[in-house]
Amino acid sequence: MKRALPWIVVLGILAIIALWVANVYNSFVAAEEEVESAWSQVENQYQRRADLVPNLVATVKGYAAHESETLQGVGDARARATQITIDPATATPEQLAAFQAAQGELSQALGKLLAIAENYPDLKANENFRDLQAQLEGTENRITISRQLFNESARNYNTRIRRFPNNIIAGAFGFEKKPYFEAEEGANKAPKVEF
Protein backbone atom coordinates (compact mmCIF):
# COMPACT_ATOMS: atom_id res chain seq x y z
CA MET A 1 0.00 0.00 0.00
CA LYS A 2 2.88 2.36 0.79
CA ARG A 3 4.30 1.83 -2.69
CA ALA A 4 0.95 2.58 -4.34
CA LEU A 5 0.38 5.86 -2.45
CA PRO A 6 2.89 7.94 -4.46
CA TRP A 7 1.37 6.64 -7.70
CA ILE A 8 -2.13 7.49 -6.52
CA VAL A 9 -0.98 11.03 -5.66
CA VAL A 10 0.74 11.41 -9.05
CA LEU A 11 -2.32 10.08 -10.89
CA GLY A 12 -4.55 12.44 -8.87
CA ILE A 13 -2.36 15.42 -9.77
CA LEU A 14 -2.32 14.38 -13.45
CA ALA A 15 -6.11 14.01 -13.42
CA ILE A 16 -6.50 17.51 -11.94
CA ILE A 17 -4.13 18.96 -14.56
CA ALA A 18 -5.97 17.12 -17.36
CA LEU A 19 -9.33 18.45 -16.16
CA TRP A 20 -7.92 21.98 -15.94
CA VAL A 21 -6.47 21.76 -19.48
CA ALA A 22 -9.79 20.42 -20.79
CA ASN A 23 -11.68 23.24 -19.09
CA VAL A 24 -9.34 25.91 -20.50
CA TYR A 25 -9.47 24.34 -23.98
CA ASN A 26 -13.28 24.29 -23.89
CA SER A 27 -13.36 27.95 -22.84
CA PHE A 28 -11.17 28.77 -25.87
CA VAL A 29 -13.54 26.88 -28.16
CA ALA A 30 -16.54 28.75 -26.72
CA ALA A 31 -14.79 32.11 -27.14
CA GLU A 32 -13.79 31.26 -30.71
CA GLU A 33 -17.37 30.29 -31.52
CA GLU A 34 -18.50 33.64 -30.13
CA VAL A 35 -16.09 35.43 -32.48
CA GLU A 36 -17.36 33.39 -35.45
CA SER A 37 -20.97 34.11 -34.50
CA ALA A 38 -20.23 37.83 -34.24
CA TRP A 39 -18.55 37.69 -37.65
CA SER A 40 -21.67 36.05 -39.11
CA GLN A 41 -23.70 39.01 -37.92
CA VAL A 42 -21.25 41.42 -39.57
CA GLU A 43 -21.58 39.51 -42.84
CA ASN A 44 -25.38 39.42 -42.52
CA GLN A 45 -25.55 43.20 -42.20
CA TYR A 46 -23.18 43.81 -45.11
CA GLN A 47 -25.21 41.35 -47.20
CA ARG A 48 -28.39 43.19 -46.26
CA ARG A 49 -26.82 46.41 -47.51
CA ALA A 50 -25.65 44.73 -50.72
CA ASP A 51 -29.17 43.40 -51.29
CA LEU A 52 -30.63 46.93 -50.99
CA VAL A 53 -28.26 48.38 -53.59
CA PRO A 54 -29.91 46.98 -56.77
CA ASN A 55 -33.33 48.31 -55.73
CA LEU A 56 -31.85 51.70 -54.87
CA VAL A 57 -29.97 51.86 -58.18
CA ALA A 58 -33.09 50.87 -60.11
CA THR A 59 -35.12 53.57 -58.38
CA VAL A 60 -32.52 56.25 -59.04
CA LYS A 61 -32.08 55.07 -62.64
CA GLY A 62 -35.73 55.85 -63.31
CA TYR A 63 -35.22 59.48 -62.35
CA ALA A 64 -31.58 60.10 -63.16
CA ALA A 65 -30.74 57.89 -66.12
CA HIS A 66 -27.98 60.21 -67.33
CA GLU A 67 -26.07 59.63 -64.05
CA SER A 68 -24.89 56.33 -65.52
CA GLU A 69 -21.28 56.75 -64.35
CA THR A 70 -22.35 56.97 -60.71
CA LEU A 71 -24.82 54.11 -61.11
CA GLN A 72 -22.13 51.96 -62.74
CA GLY A 73 -19.71 52.86 -59.92
CA VAL A 74 -22.20 51.66 -57.32
CA GLY A 75 -22.70 48.39 -59.18
CA ASP A 76 -18.97 47.83 -59.52
CA ALA A 77 -18.32 48.63 -55.84
CA ARG A 78 -21.12 46.25 -54.82
CA ALA A 79 -19.59 43.49 -56.94
CA ARG A 80 -16.15 43.97 -55.36
CA ALA A 81 -17.61 44.11 -51.86
CA THR A 82 -19.55 40.87 -52.27
CA GLN A 83 -16.60 38.99 -53.81
CA ILE A 84 -14.50 39.12 -50.65
CA THR A 85 -15.27 36.40 -48.15
CA ILE A 86 -13.44 35.75 -44.91
CA ASP A 87 -13.29 32.66 -42.75
CA PRO A 88 -13.21 34.05 -39.20
CA ALA A 89 -11.31 30.99 -37.97
CA THR A 90 -8.33 31.83 -40.18
CA ALA A 91 -8.80 35.56 -40.76
CA THR A 92 -5.73 37.73 -40.92
CA PRO A 93 -5.50 41.48 -40.37
CA GLU A 94 -4.69 41.87 -44.07
CA GLN A 95 -7.82 39.97 -45.13
CA LEU A 96 -9.96 42.02 -42.78
CA ALA A 97 -8.39 45.24 -44.12
CA ALA A 98 -9.15 44.18 -47.72
CA PHE A 99 -12.73 43.35 -46.74
CA GLN A 100 -13.06 46.68 -44.96
CA ALA A 101 -11.59 48.57 -47.94
CA ALA A 102 -14.06 46.97 -50.36
CA GLN A 103 -16.96 47.79 -48.05
CA GLY A 104 -15.63 51.34 -47.72
CA GLU A 105 -15.64 51.71 -51.51
CA LEU A 106 -19.28 50.65 -51.54
CA SER A 107 -20.09 53.16 -48.78
CA GLN A 108 -18.46 55.95 -50.79
CA ALA A 109 -20.29 54.95 -53.97
CA LEU A 110 -23.60 54.88 -52.09
CA GLY A 111 -22.83 58.30 -50.66
CA LYS A 112 -22.39 59.67 -54.18
CA LEU A 113 -25.62 57.99 -55.26
CA LEU A 114 -27.57 59.49 -52.38
CA ALA A 115 -26.04 62.90 -53.10
CA ILE A 116 -27.49 62.71 -56.61
CA ALA A 117 -30.95 62.68 -55.09
CA GLU A 118 -30.45 66.29 -54.02
CA ASN A 119 -30.51 67.27 -57.71
CA TYR A 120 -33.78 65.46 -58.39
CA PRO A 121 -36.73 66.66 -56.29
CA ASP A 122 -39.05 64.05 -57.82
CA LEU A 123 -36.64 61.31 -56.76
CA LYS A 124 -36.42 62.68 -53.22
CA ALA A 125 -40.21 62.71 -53.07
CA ASN A 126 -40.52 59.12 -54.31
CA GLU A 127 -41.81 56.93 -51.48
CA ASN A 128 -39.87 53.87 -52.64
CA PHE A 129 -36.62 55.87 -52.68
CA ARG A 130 -37.28 57.27 -49.20
CA ASP A 131 -38.04 53.77 -47.87
CA LEU A 132 -34.87 52.35 -49.41
CA GLN A 133 -32.84 55.27 -48.05
CA ALA A 134 -34.25 54.69 -44.54
CA GLN A 135 -33.51 50.96 -44.78
CA LEU A 136 -29.98 51.73 -45.91
CA GLU A 137 -29.42 54.13 -43.01
CA GLY A 138 -30.75 51.53 -40.57
CA THR A 139 -28.49 48.91 -42.08
CA GLU A 140 -25.46 51.19 -41.73
CA ASN A 141 -26.28 51.52 -38.03
CA ARG A 142 -26.61 47.74 -37.71
CA ILE A 143 -23.24 47.31 -39.45
CA THR A 144 -21.63 49.62 -36.91
CA ILE A 145 -23.14 47.70 -33.99
CA SER A 146 -22.21 44.32 -35.50
CA ARG A 147 -18.63 45.47 -36.02
CA GLN A 148 -18.46 46.65 -32.40
CA LEU A 149 -19.76 43.30 -31.16
CA PHE A 150 -17.26 41.47 -33.36
CA ASN A 151 -14.39 43.56 -31.99
CA GLU A 152 -15.58 42.93 -28.44
CA SER A 153 -15.77 39.17 -29.04
CA ALA A 154 -12.33 39.19 -30.66
CA ARG A 155 -10.92 41.19 -27.73
CA ASN A 156 -12.37 38.77 -25.18
CA TYR A 157 -10.98 35.80 -27.11
CA ASN A 158 -7.57 37.41 -27.62
CA THR A 159 -7.32 38.33 -23.94
CA ARG A 160 -8.23 34.80 -22.90
CA ILE A 161 -5.63 33.11 -25.10
CA ARG A 162 -2.84 35.53 -24.17
CA ARG A 163 -3.15 35.27 -20.38
CA PHE A 164 -0.69 33.11 -18.51
CA PRO A 165 -0.89 30.07 -18.20
CA ASN A 166 -3.67 29.92 -20.80
CA ASN A 167 -1.21 31.07 -23.45
CA ILE A 168 0.68 27.78 -23.08
CA ILE A 169 -2.43 25.76 -23.81
CA ALA A 170 -3.50 28.13 -26.61
CA GLY A 171 -0.10 27.72 -28.27
CA ALA A 172 -0.15 23.95 -27.87
CA PHE A 173 -3.58 23.66 -29.51
CA GLY A 174 -3.09 26.31 -32.21
CA PHE A 175 -5.45 29.03 -30.99
CA GLU A 176 -4.30 32.24 -32.66
CA LYS A 177 -5.11 35.91 -32.18
CA LYS A 178 -8.14 37.26 -34.10
CA PRO A 179 -7.94 40.56 -36.04
CA TYR A 180 -10.09 43.61 -35.31
CA PHE A 181 -11.99 46.05 -37.44
CA GLU A 182 -10.08 49.31 -37.31
CA ALA A 183 -11.09 52.86 -38.09
CA GLU A 184 -10.60 53.82 -41.70
CA GLU A 185 -7.57 55.90 -42.55
CA GLY A 186 -8.24 59.57 -41.87
CA ALA A 187 -11.22 58.87 -39.61
CA ASN A 188 -9.41 60.52 -36.71
CA LYS A 189 -9.37 63.89 -38.50
CA ALA A 190 -12.34 66.23 -38.46
CA PRO A 191 -13.80 66.92 -41.90
CA LYS A 192 -12.99 70.32 -43.37
CA VAL A 193 -16.11 72.41 -43.87
CA GLU A 194 -15.99 75.45 -46.10
CA PHE A 195 -18.75 77.92 -46.88
How does DSSP classify residue 118? G
At 118 the pLDDT is 80
For the chain, what is the domain count?
1
Report the alpha-carbon distance of residue 160 to residue 54 in Å, rounded: 42
Residue 183 lies in a domain: no
Residue 107 lies in a domain: yes
Residue 167 lies in a domain: yes
Q: Helices 68-83 & 4-63, crossing angle to 10 degrees?
A: 170
**Which domain range does residue 74 map to?**
12-173
Residue 182 lies in a domain: no
- 149, pLDDT greater than 80: yes
CATH number of residue 29's parent domain: 1.20.1440.20
Residue 192 lies in a domain: no
| Residue 117: pLDDT band with limits 50, 70, 90 | confident
Residue 181 lies in a domain: no
Give per-residue pLDDT as tens, 53-111: 998 888 888 877 777 888 888 999 999 999 988 888 888 889 998 999 999 999 999 98
Q: Where are the alpha helices (DSSP H) in 64-85?
A: 68-83
Give per-residue pLDDT as tens, 5-61: 888 999 999 999 999 999 999 999 999 999 999 999 999 999 999 999 998 888 888
